[in-house]
Structure 1
C-alpha cells in the first residue's frame, strides 16, 4: 500500500510538472510570436503582448491561466528589478533624487487619499477604507512596465531617468499605504502618524541597508571568481537573496533588490573580466526579455478571472466604472505634476544649489502622461485577503481587482500607444545630451591613449616602434572620425603581429581606466560608461582570442 501511494504521488507530481511545462512553453511561444508582430508594427512589445493575451483569453473553452501573486513577487519580480536597477545610472538617480522623492512619496500619498475620497463618493460598493486600499494598490507606477516601454518610445533621457527612478523606489510608500489600508479594513485599527513615519523609515533604510550589505558581500566574492557560468549563476542568486532577506526583515524587498542592483552595477566595471561581462549581459538580456514577455501576456490572460468574480454589476456598468476610474487616476497624476515639479525645482536650486533648467510644461505633461501600471499592481490586488477580521467576506476585493486591471490596460495600451505621437507633437523626440556626452568621453579617452603611445614610442627600440606607430595611426584615425562624424558605427581595426596585440591590450586598459575616471569625476553617467565598456570588452575579447590561437 505504501509503495502504491508513493507511486501515485509521483504520477500526480509528474502530471503537474507536465502541465506547468505545457503552460510555460505556450507562454514562451506567445511571447516569441507576438514580439515579432510588435517589431513589424513598430509598437513596444509589452503593449502587443497585453492585447494578445486579452484576445486569447476571450477564446471559448480555453484553459484558464491564473496569476499567482507568489509567482510574481517571489519568482518574476526580483530578477526584473535587479536588471532594471543594473541599467539605471547612479549619477542621474542621485541627481534627480528630490524629483524622484516628490513622485515616489508625494504623488503616491496624494493618489491614495484622492482615490479613497473618489471611491467613497462615486463608486457604489466601495467605502473610504476599501478605496484607500485601492489607492495603495494602483498608486505606485510599475518598474517592469516603465523600463520596458519608456526606453523604446524615444523619450528624452532626462524624462526616462526620472520615470525609472520613480518606479524603482515608490514601492516603499505604496507598500506602507497598502499595509495600513489592510490594517484599517481587516482589523479596524487606524495607525498613527508616528507609526507611519517609523514604518516608512524602516522600509527605506532597512531595505537599502540589506541590499547594500548583500551587494558588498557579492562584489567581494566576485573578485575571487573569473568563470562566466559561475558568475552568471551568482548574478541570479543575488537578487533573490536580497529580496528574501528584505522580506524576512519586514523591510522593502524591492528596495533591497534595487539598492543591491545599483551597487553591483557600479562595481561591476572592476570585478568582471571582458569575456565574463559579455556573457552575463547576454544572459540577462535574454532572461529579462522572456520574463517581461511572460508577465505582459499573463496580464491580458487574466480577463476571465477578473470579470468572473464580480457580482451585481452589469457589463456596461463595469466598463463605465473602469474607464472613469482610469481617467481619474491619470488626471490625478497630471494635476500633481505641475506643483510637484515646481516644489522640486525650488528645493534643488535654492537649497541644494543644483544648476538646473526649469522643466517646460510640455515635458511635465509627458511625465504626467507616463504613469504606467503593471503586473505588480494586479498581483497586489489579487493577494488581498478574502475575509475581514470579523470573519465576514471581503466582497469589495473583486471590484478592486477589476478596477486595477482596467487601470493597467488603459495606462499600458492607451497611454503607451499615444505617447510616440504625443512626444513628436510636443517636439520632445530625441535626446542629444547623452550622445554629446558620449562623444566627449570618446574624444578624451582617445587623446589619453595617443599621449600614452607617443610617450612609449620614444622609450622603445626600433623593433617595437612599428607597433606604436601602427596603433598611433589607428587611434589618430578614430579621433579624426570623431571630429567629422557624430553618429558613425565605430569598430576597432584588426591588430597585426604579436607585439601589436600585446600593446593593443595595454591601450584598451588605458581606455578602460580613463572611462572609469571620467565616471568617478561625474563627467559621464553609467549608461555612457556601459556603452564604451561594451566596445572595449569586445576588443579585449578578440585580442585575447587571437593571443590564445597564436
Structure 2
C-alpha cells in the first residue's frame, strides 16, 4: 500500500528529525569549541566529515545491534513486567554504550524504538504485553516532558535578570525562519519518499505546520556554554517552542479539516 497512516508520517518524521538534529548540533558544537575545546579552528572538512559520519553510522549500527538483542529477549519473555524491563534495560545500555563509543545516542535510540515497535506488533507478541509496554513508555514520555519544561521555567527565571526586549524580537523573527526552513527541507525530500504517493501539497502543509518543537530543542539550547550566546538562544528557542505548542498545536485540527482529512489517524 502506497499511502501510510498520517500518524506514522508525523511520528516517523519527528523521530528522524530529532536524531539527525542532535548529530548536527553536536558536530557544530565541536566546531564552536564545546566540551572543553577552546576553538574549532583546527577542524577542517575531513575532520567534520569524520565526526559526522562516526556519529551517524556508529549510532545506526549500535541501534541495530541493541534492537536485535532486545528482540531476541522479547521472544523469550512472556511476562509483562519482564518485557518492560527488557526495553528499559536496552535503552539505558545502548545510550551508555553510545556515550562510551562517542556515537549518536539519540539516533541509536530512534533505531531501537522503531525496530522494537515492529517487534511488539508481531503476531508472536501478546496484545496485553504490547499494551503494557506502550503505556509504560507513554507515561515516561509525559513525565520527562513535564520535568523538562519545569526546568526550563526555572532557567528562564534565572535569565530574567539579563533579559532584554531584543531577545523576544529575535525569537519572534525566528518563527517564520524555522517554518520556512522546515518547508524547504520537506519540499526537497518528500519527492524521494513514500509520502509522494498522496497529495503532496496536503502532506507538505500538514507536516510543515504539524511539526512541533519541544523537548529536544530546549535540551540542546540548555547544553550550550554561557559564552556561546546561551541566553539569547535559550530565550529564542523558548519563544519558538511556545508558538509551536500554543499556536500550531491548537490550530492543527482546523487545518486537518480544511485540508479535507476526515480521519486523521489514517
- Residue 372 of structure 1 corresponds to 212
Distance in 2 separating the partners of 1:412 and 1:179? 25
- Residue 143 of structure 2 corresponds to 290
- Residue 248 of structure 2 corresponds to 415
Which of 161, 172, 179 pairs up with 1:323?
172
Distance in 2 separating the partners of 1:205 and 1:335? 25
Distance 1:395 1:244, change over 3 A: closer
Question: Do residues 166 (structure 1) and 13 (structure 2) align?
Answer: yes
- Residue 16 of structure 1 corresponds to none
- Residue 229 of structure 1 corresponds to 81
- Higher relative contact order, structure no. (Cα contacts within 8 Å, ≥ 6 residues apart): 2
Give the unaligned 5+ runs of structure 2.
Answer: 34-38
- Residue 36 of structure 2 corresponds to none
Question: Do residues 194 (structure 1) and 46 (structure 2) align?
Answer: yes
Encode CA deviations 1:70-97: one digit per residue, 9 max, x unaligned: xxxxxxxxxxxxxxxxxxxxxx9xx89x
Distance 1:193 1:382, change over 3 A: same
Give yes or no for contact 1:163–1:367 (8 Å, CA) kept in 2: yes
Give yes or no for contact 1:172–1:255 (8 Å, CA) kept in 2: yes
Which of 246, 251, 260 pairs up with 1:427?
260
Question: Do residues 397 (structure 1) and 249 (structure 2) align?
Answer: no
Encode CA deviations 1:493-548: one digit per residue, 9 max, x unaligned: xxxxxxxxxxxxxxxxxxxxxxxxxxxxxxxxxxxxxxxxxxxxxxxxxxxxxxxx
Give yes or no for contact 1:208–1:256 (8 Å, CA) kept in 2: yes
Give the unaligned 5+ runs of structure 1.
Answer: 1-91, 97-155, 349-353, 387-393, 435-550
User: Alignment partner of 1:223: what SS?
Assistant: helix
Shift of 1:172: 4.6
Encode CA deviations 1:457-482: one digit per residue, 9 max, x unaligned: xxxxxxxxxxxxxxxxxxxxxxxxxx
Alignment of 1:252-291 (within 5 A): 252-268=104-120, 269=122, 272-291=125-144
Distance in 2 separating the partners of 1:291 and 1:169? 19
Encode CA deviations 1:6-42: one digit per residue, 9 max, x unaligned: xxxxxxxxxxxxxxxxxxxxxxxxxxxxxxxxxxxxx
Structure-1-length-normalised TM-score: 0.42
Shift of 1:302: 4.2
Shift of 1:161: 2.6
Which of 201, 207, 211 pairs up with 1:361?
201
Encode CA deviations 1:34-75: one digit per residue, 9 max, x unaligned: xxxxxxxxxxxxxxxxxxxxxxxxxxxxxxxxxxxxxxxxxx
Distance in 1 separating the partners of 2:101 and 2:228? 32
- Residue 304 of structure 1 corresponds to 157
Shift of 1:278: 4.3
Structure-2-length-normalised TM-score: 0.81
Say how many residue pairs are matched: 260
Distance in 1 separating the partners of 2:130 and 2:54? 34
Single out whichever of 422-431 and 273-282 deviates more from structure 2: 273-282
Shift of 1:256: 1.2
Distance in 1 separating the partners of 2:32 and 2:140? 39
Which has the higher Rg, Structure 1 or Structure 2? 1
- Residue 184 of structure 1 corresponds to 31
Alignment of 1:467-478 (within 5 A): none
Distance in 1 separating the partners of 2:137 and 2:23? 31
Distance 1:284 1:252, change over 3 A: same
Distance 1:358 1:194, change over 3 A: farther
Question: Do residues 242 (structure 1) and 89 (structure 2) align?
Answer: no
Aligned residues: CA RMSD = 3.1
Shift of 1:166: 2.4
Give yes or no for contact 1:183–1:189 (8 Å, CA) kept in 2: no
